Structures are given as C-alpha cells and as structure tokens.
Amino acid sequence: MPAQPAGSIQSSIAFLGPEGTFTEAALHSLGTHSEGETVPAPSVPAALAMARSGEVDAAFVPLENSVEGSVSPTIDGLAAGDPLVITREVFLEVDFVLATRPGVGRGDVRRVASHPHALAQTRGWVAAHLPGAEVVPAASTADAARLVAEGAHDAAICPELAAARYGLDVVGTGLADTPGAVTRFVQVERPGRLPAPTGADKTTLTCFVADRTGVLLDLLTEFASRGISLTRLESRPTRERLGVYSFSVDCEGHVSDRRVGDALVALHRLCDEVRFQGSYPRADGRAAAPVHERFADGAFADAQEWVARLREGSAG
C-alpha cells in the first residue's frame, strides 16, 4: 500500500471496542469517522496488530489517563513489533455511570465489572455504595456493559453511551473519584509521510539503553542542552530481566525542528536503540515555550556552516 500523508482521513480505523467505549467516543469527536469504516477490536494489542498487518489503515487506542497514568498495553505495544507512528492525539474527559439490566436495582448488585483503569478511578465510589460487591476486570468499559446485558455480571461501570448501546438502565452517575479526569487517545499508522509541523507539536520516542550508571542523566542532558521540554517520561521493563528498562518519552517539538532532530541524532548515538513513534500536533494546541535564539533552527544552521568552513580549511 503506498504511503499517504500520516494523520489524513483514513478509510478504515480499528478502535478499542466493542461499540460504546470511550475510545469510540473520542474517535467520533474527530468528526472524520463518517468518511470511512470504524472497526471495533477486542483489545489494544488486537487493534495495533490490525494496523500493522494492513487490515486497517490506522488504529485508535488510549495512551494515558490523568489519574491512573499510562495504558501499558499501548505503551508496550508501540515499543515492540513492526514500527507504528502516532499521527494525532485526542483528549476526552471521562465520567462513569453504573449500569444494570432493566429491573436490577443498585441494591441487587453483587458483581460489578469494568476496565481496570475505570475500576481504579471509581474505587472510592464502589467502596462507599457497593461495599459487598465483587469487582471483576473486563477488556473495556463497553465490554463490561455487553457482559452485563448478557447476564454475566450484575452491573457495569461504563460510559453512558455504552449503557444506552446495550439497553441497560443507569442506576448511578458521577462515579469518578476525581471529577474532570482526562484520557489521551492516539491514532497510530504504519510509517509514511509525517504530519506537517504546526508550531504546537509533540514527538514520541522509546529509548532502549544498556544498564549503566548515569544513563538517564545522559538522556535528559540531550534534551535539556537543546532547550527541549519533556511532557512525559516513564520507564518500562524490557522483559529481559529484572532491573533493565527502556524509557518512553514525549517531548515538545517536531522532528523537522533542527533542535529536535539534533537531539535524536545524539540519542541514536547514545542508546542501543531509539524507536521513533511520531511527530504530530498537540491536542491542546499549546505552542512550545519560546525558544532561545541559541536553540533556534538558524543557530544550528550557522553552527553547521561554521564546521563546514573549518573542514574546508577556513580559520573559522
């Protein structure tokens, strides 16, 4: 399949399903879903595999939540396997309802299901209002609703959209222990032409490094010395052995910016492997902090020209 501009409207997009998930709601918020087919996938790894194989043009999956942090299957799934790049991100404020089959009241709930992140974000509400209920993890909030509709559980903690989709009654609202929580979703595609820089961009990387003293300081120095701010940094186990980690990074800027490109060159030299996972517009549209003139593209161009003159025998 020929490369197309990354982040363009896709003819088919896999999303974490089933129908009624927050992921589907976030995808629809882009306003482009009517242009092509959306395909529910049973899990994040399944959605990523569909994108890698070419079964769909892109996958749309959750990456992190403002309360519970990163979604491990997405972070780890992008760090392994054939490369995929992020081409856009979406923020969605999430809230939860308690949904049951018609005729089942809150007092009848003995078994409640939801996605582990949703359960973590509502554990206080559940402890206060369903103290005797068994809590059961599900593949997604909407899958929990589907299972309740099929009679597998008494109640689901899910989006109101999922309750409506599966014919459930809402018997509790405002379940989130931290109101206003936001989940970040990303669209990922096979590598191709990148989205053009906007001046309000992010770049995502995973850095694999040898286990040695000072390695994190070395990585951070490459960003700091070029005036690049990080918006996310976390370590992830490489699964080789206990204590060996990779670093997943979001930084301000686009790979086409001289300072970001120069940092990637340095990281490529320092790390065992650097997996580039995309440069794309920020969902919040927030421009990067003003760049000091010594970090601007012109400064890098001047420095490179100076070195070129030295190599040609100029006194500089």
- pLDDT per residue, tens digit, the chain (316 aa), is 334 445 555 689 999 988 899 999 999 888 754 456 899 999 999 999 999 999 999 999 999 998 888 999 999 999 999 999 999 999 999 989 999 999 999 999 999 999 998 999 999 999 999 999 999 999 899 999 999 999 999 999 999 999 999 999 999 999 999 988 999 999 999 999 999 999 999 999 999 988 888 889 999 999 999 999 999 999 988 777 676 789 999 999 999 999 999 999 999 999 999 999 999 999 988 877 777 777 777 788 888 888 887 787 776 6
Q: What pLDDT shows up at residue 190?
A: 96
* 204 and 188 assigned to the same domain: no
Instruction: Map tokens 């970090």 to a residue.
Output: 295
Q: What pLDDT shows up at residue 9?
A: 54
* 263 and 307 assigned to the same domain: yes
* 162 and 299 assigned to the same domain: no
Sort 2 into a burial class: Cβ within 10 Å, 0-12 / 13-18 / 19+: exposed
* 151 and 66 assigned to the same domain: no
Q: Identity (one letter) of the amino acid at 214?
A: G
Q: How many domains does the chain have?
A: 3
Structure tokens at 164: 């409506």
Q: What pLDDT shows up at residue 5?
A: 47
In a domain, 251, yes or no: yes
Q: What pLDDT shows up at residue 222?
A: 95
Q: Find the Cα–Cα–Cα–Cα dihedral 176, 95, 129, 178, rounded to 10°.
A: 10
* 152 and 188 assigned to the same domain: no
Closest C-alpha to 133, from 143, 141, 123, 142: 123
Whole-structure pTM value: 0.84
In a domain, 171, yes or no: no
Residue 129 in contact with residue 195, Cβ under 8 Å? Answer: no
CATH value at residue 188:
3.40.190.10
Closest C-alpha to 113, from 168, 67, 66, 60: 168
In a domain, 1, yes or no: no
Helix (H, G, I), strand (E, B) or coil at 75: helix
Structure tokens at 230: 């990080």
* 292 and 215 assigned to the same domain: yes
**What range does the domain containing 21 cover?**
10-94+176-192
* 147 and 81 assigned to the same domain: no
* 101 and 250 assigned to the same domain: no
* 111 and 161 assigned to the same domain: yes
* 186 and 87 assigned to the same domain: yes
CATH value at residue 254:
3.30.70.260
Helix (H, G, I), strand (E, B) or coil at 256: coil
In a domain, 302, yes or no: yes
Structure tokens at 246: 């990779």
* 26 and 86 assigned to the same domain: yes
